[in-house]
């Protein structure tokens, strides 16, 4: 039986590196943000490479969901999801077939990183409120902090594997540079740094100092981050 893992995060949360880590296991299928085109289509939000994304994936959320629960050959199926891509009124019946993991990161780090790629983000772009909503919607799940993984990947990843019932392998600590065939078409805009990596970056430094609207944005996200951080594995 395949173990299906829905990894929920916002953008700039170590999510692509985590997808590469699971892909490196050797027994795992991965999929990159499968609801992205459906989200863009139904919200009309203008994102970098919007037209290319819309052309690359199903736009119907029910069609996407079917691909996530259909039979696969691999014993592990890792699904990288952006929380803001999952609209509240969509059918969530598929969620009962997966194990839910929530990848969190301090809002100041997320805001600083996101703003370098796309100007003037708002709270809905960052996925914090949606992550907290999904956590409550599915009755909780495993929570892991990206900073903890970066600080000690060989310690934290085995704990994560144990929580979700997949065997640990140190293959997860490294991957080939240059990206993965499962990368979404948007990788050309967003994945520059991780494409140059062959493993997790080291521990993060001090929190970035934000000002003005960016500081306000991080402050607005903090209650959602803290609500999930109370459940994180250590």
Q: Which residues pair with 80 in a beta bridge?
A: 7, 32
Rg (CA), the chain: 17
Residue 135 predicted with pLDDT over 70: yes
Q: Which of 106, 125, 104, 103 is nearest to 208 (CA)?
A: 106
Residue whose token pair is 């050959």 = 73
| CATH value at residue 157 | 3.40.50.300
Domain with 156 in it: 3-229
Helices 36-43 and 61-69, packing angle to 10 deg: 160
Tell me the per-residue pLDDT of 155-201, one tens digit each, with 9 for 90 and over. Answer: 999 999 999 999 999 999 999 999 999 999 999 988 988 999 999 99
The total domain count for the chain is: 1
Tell me the per-residue pLDDT of 35-65, one tens digit each, with 9 for 90 and over. Answer: 999 999 999 999 889 999 999 999 999 999 9
Q: How many CB atoms lie within 10 A of CB 191?
A: 19
Q: Are 48 and 186 in contact (CB under 8 A)?
A: yes
Is residue 85 domain-resident? Answer: yes
Rounded Cα gap, residues 156 and 110, in angstroms: 21
Is residue 234 domain-resident? Answer: no
DSSP strand pairing (142-145 vs 99-104): parallel
Q: Are 104 and 9 in contact (CB under 8 A)?
A: yes
Tell me the per-residue pLDDT of 76-122, one tens digit each, with 9 for 90 and over. Answer: 999 999 999 999 999 999 999 999 999 999 999 999 888 776 667 88
Residue 129 predicted with pLDDT over 90: yes
Using DSSP, state whether 32 is helix, strand or coil.
strand
Is residue 94 domain-resident? Answer: yes
Tell me the per-residue pLDDT of 6-38, one tens digit each, with 9 for 90 and over. Answer: 999 998 889 999 999 999 999 999 999 999 999
Q: What is the pTM of this model?
A: 0.95
Torsion of CA 234, 190, 55, 80, to 10 degrees: -10
């Amino acid at each position: 039986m395949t173990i299906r893992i829905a990894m929920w995060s916002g953008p700039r949360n170590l999510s692509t590196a985590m997808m590469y880590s699971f892909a490196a296991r050797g027994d795992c299928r991965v999929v990159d943000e499968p609801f992205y085109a459906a989200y863009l289509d139904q919200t009309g939000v203008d994102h970098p490479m919007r037209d290319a994304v819309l052309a690359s994936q199903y736009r119907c959320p029910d069609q996407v969901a079917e691909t996530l629960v259909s039979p696969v050959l691999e014993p592990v199926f890792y699904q990288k999801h952006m929380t803001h891509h999952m609209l509240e009124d969509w059918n969530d019946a598929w969620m009962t077939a997966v194990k839910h993991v929530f990848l969190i990161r301090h809002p100041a780090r997320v805001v600083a990183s996101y703003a370098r790629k796309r100007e003037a983000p708002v709270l809905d772009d960052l996925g914090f409120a949606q992550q907290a909503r999904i956590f409550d919607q599915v009755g909780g799940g495993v929570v892991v902090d990206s900073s903890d993984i970066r600080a000690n990947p060989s310690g934290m990843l085995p704990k994560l594997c144990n929580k979700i019932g997949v065997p640990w392998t140190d293959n997860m600590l490294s991957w080939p540079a240059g990206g993965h065939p499962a990368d979404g078409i948007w990788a050309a805009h967003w994945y520059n740094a991780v494409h140059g990596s062959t493993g997790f970056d080291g521990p993060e430094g001090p929190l970035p100092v934000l000002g003005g609207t960016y500081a306000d944005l991080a402050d607005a996200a903090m209650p959602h981050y803290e609500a999930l951080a109370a459940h994180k594995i250590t």
